[in-house]
Chains A and B, each alone.
Chain A
Amino acid sequence: MGDGQESRVSASPASGDGPRAVGSTPLFALRRVTLERGQSVILRDVSLDLPRTEITALIGPSGAGKTSLLRLLNRLDDPSSGEVWFNDQPITSTPVGALRRRVGFVFQKPVLFPGTVADNLQTAVALGGPAEAGGAPRAALVLEAVGLTAEYAARETAELSGGEQQRVTIARVLMTRPEVLLLDEPTSALDPEVAEHLLVTIRRLSRERGVAVIMVTHRLHEAREISTHVVMLEAGRVVEDGTANGIFSAPTHARTREYLAAAD
């Protein structure tokens, strides 16, 4: 994807290191987005701005459409109707391969390719084409960023624990130098202590590397702990959308209050 570099520079003035400007154009904008699958409606007429903030949490009961919404943001799916905008441009205006390298996706269940950790990281680089070749020196930095030592590079992925595997999938995505990281319940398969460590890692990634994180979670305490912005979905609609502080201290919507109370 040779054009990746170029468009990245023009598209995201806010993606450098250090604090980002909040309140400029939204990172993603959904306009009247509906997603249908067969008979069922997954997302209903959703209009939503996702700001350039550090970490956005998508919360809500299961089946609310959180994962489906996340999948629209790097075009693993397209909406049945409506539009998704990315960096003030229709998301479809970027070639899909290049888009997916700028907007990385980490699946709920880690999927690693056969071979070693280093093989996996190198695969991610190689998929970017010859223009991005030579990622080997970066592998150690990226492993460190997800809290793994450099000696993990030689480990077979099949031998890793669940928490380690999830860290490697995040490291693999980082090899493409994404400006946005989409995380689909990254801690759901992990035990609480390991999950906690991963959250710390995610927060550090966003702060230190300037990667915007959008994370689906059904664990409210996670959202409370690390997010700066919260969107709550229910039955395919947005019922709450605001700063984390605002929503957790004073939810505007009765349904959110019920959900927060029930979840705690």
Chain B
Amino acid sequence: MAARTIDISWMHLALAGALVLVAVAISAWQRLGLARGFVVGAIRAVIQLVAVGYVLVYVFAAERWWLVLVVLAVMLVAATATATNRLSGVPVAGRRKLRTISGTAMLVGAGLTLAYVTVVVLNVRPWYEPRYLIPLFGMIVGSAMNGAALAAERLASEMESRRGEVEAYLALGAAPARAAAEPVRRALVASLIPAVNSLMVVGLVQLPGMMTGQILAGQSPLLAVRYQIVVAFMLAGSTAMTSVIVVLWYRRTFFTAAEQLAVSVPL
């Protein structure tokens, strides 16, 4: 790092806490019922982030490839749980299946993206260098998670609202893939629009977190910008790969082997 970064002591961190107290005060004043949430949330944020900090210090110092993979795996599992738990109205059995689907999709989509970025684009040495792999994977898997959740949710709702249309196709002898083509297309569009939009506005509306961090850490803004471009591109790629796997696989669960809608219409 070129320039010196200002240190934050625990004392100064406590001063930052005053900003949360502003939110607590407003919440109490306006009777939002969020004061408790802000307090608990702030405490959790401190504990979680400090814990992560120590874990990262340990992992960085250990320099063991398997330890890095374990961290990546934990991130993937947490993202999978978050993506599927967000879906309401999916029965338990369906949720388990959906967890398998989105977990696998993220493993493939985010995993391939991470491998491509670290091996081909950045040429990271050694290949498991945690300083690169862990933060990059965090960003990749985070956006893949949003894509997977959006895609699955939209597919389920489109299949429900277009039930008549899908069945009309089936009744004409269409294969399930053809019958569900429109729900699939709409689910993919819904899951990818945020990725397109973020490419459009990046740098205009806000400076992305990673770039901000690098600049604060004394990095040249021009290098920080290049990193940010890589990040923006990799997020688009991983979201697209993950979403398409989720949608095409999840689609199959709506049909029986005999090309019928899996849950019959109300009789």
Contacts and interface: CB of A to CB of B under 8 A. Distances in A.
Interface of A: 1, 37, 40, 42, 65, 67-68, 74-78, 92, 96-101, 104-105, 107, 109, 111, 113, 123-124, 127-128, 169, 172-173, 176
Given A37-B264, A67-B267, A77-B264, A97 B173 contact: yes
Contacts of A76: 167, 170-171, 260-261
B175 interface: yes
Nearest to B256: A78
Given A75-B258, A101-B172, A111-B168, 12 more contacts: A42-B267, A76-B260, A77-B264, A97-B259, A100-B172, A107-B164, A111-B164, A111-B165, A123-B172, A124-B172, A128-B173, A173-B171
A176 B172 contact: yes
B178 interface: yes
B174 interface: yes
A105 B264 CA distance: 16
B116 interface: no
Contacts of A104: 171-172
B169 interface: yes
A74 B173 CA distance: 10
Contact of B178 (A65, A77, A99, A127): A127
29 contacts: A1-B173, A37-B267, A65-B267, A67-B267, A74-B171, A75-B258, A75-B259, A75-B260, A76-B167, A76-B171, A76-B260, A76-B261, A77-B260, A77-B264, A78-B256, A78-B258, A92-B258, A97-B259, A100-B173, A105-B171, A107-B167, A107-B168, A111-B168, A113-B168, A127-B173, A128-B173, A169-B168, A173-B172, A176-B173
Interface string B27-49: 00000000000000000000000
Contact of B165 (A37, A92, A113, A124): A113
A68 B267 contact: yes
Contact of A127 (B164, B169, B260, B264): B169
Q: Mostly helix, strand, loop or mixed at chain A's interface? A: mixed
Interface string B155-187: 000000000110111111111001000000000
A123 to B, nearest CB: 8
Nearest to A182: B171
B174 A127 contact: yes
Sorted nearest first, the 3 A-B pairs with minimum C-beta distance are A101-B173, A105-B171, A111-B168
A125 B263 CA distance: 28
Interface string B252-266: 000010111100100
A40 B164 CA distance: 23
B6 to A, nearest CB: 60
A113 B170 CA distance: 13
Which interface residue of B171, B256, B258, B264 has the most chain A CB atoms within 10 A? B171
Contact of B258 (A65, A96, A123): A96
A10 B260 CA distance: 26
A78 B172 CA distance: 17
A3 to B, nearest CB: 12
A107 B178 CA distance: 19
B60 to A, nearest CB: 55
A127 B168 CA distance: 12
Interface in B171-207: 171-175, 178
